[in-house]
Each structure stands twice: as C-alpha cells, then as structure tokens.
Amino acid sequence: MALKMTVNYKTLTLPEAYLRVVRPQIDLSKDAMSFGVWMFPSQDAAADIGNMLDDAAIAHSGVPYDMSGGNAFEQAYCYLKTLPEYEGAIDVLEVEQSP
C-alpha cells in the first residue's frame, strides 16, 4: 500500500506524489509505534529508491498501535490519513498487493 496526493515540494507542485510507509517498529510497550514515510515524485519514480526525495523523508513516533488491529503498515497508513497534512490522500495498492 502507499498514498498518492498533491504535494508542494520546494518550488514544485507534485500532483501525484507517492508516499510509502517504511520500517514500522512497535515500541516495547506494544501500544505505540514509529515509522518513516518516504516520498517520491510519482508512483513510477518509486520503482527506483534513488528517486526518493531525500529531504522529504518524514519520521513519526509515538503513534498509537493496537495489537488486535491490522498490521503495523495498515495502522500507519490509517494514522497518516487522520493528519491534516495528508488530507485528500488516496490509497494505492502496490504491484504485489491485491484488493
């Protein structure tokens, strides 16, 4: 899964920026997690990690985690979509995923 949305990046508007959750880690307390978000200019660009917008990587920590909920990736994407800066983001299935 990933998110696609319009992002203002430096002096550019990226109408189909592609955001991918990476490295989710569940805290020892098992009620919080941390993860990163990598941003690419487009879904096609995400095929090559070298296209990642390095200075646009974002870390999130202290994010609520529910052991009985979905996996950490699913919960991370759900959390992001509650934040104002990700308003309007749409879910995108990656090639190896099915609906």
Tokens of 56: 């646009």
Mean pLDDT of 31-59: 93
Q: What is the pLDDT of residue 81?
A: 95
Please classify residue 62 by burial: count the beta carbons closer than 10 Å to its beta carbon, then call 0-12 exposed, 13-18 middle and 19+ buried. exposed
pLDDT bucket at 52, cuts 50 / 70 / 90: very high
Position 99 pLDDT exceeds 60: no
Mean pLDDT of 53-72: 91
Domain boundaries, the chain: 2-92
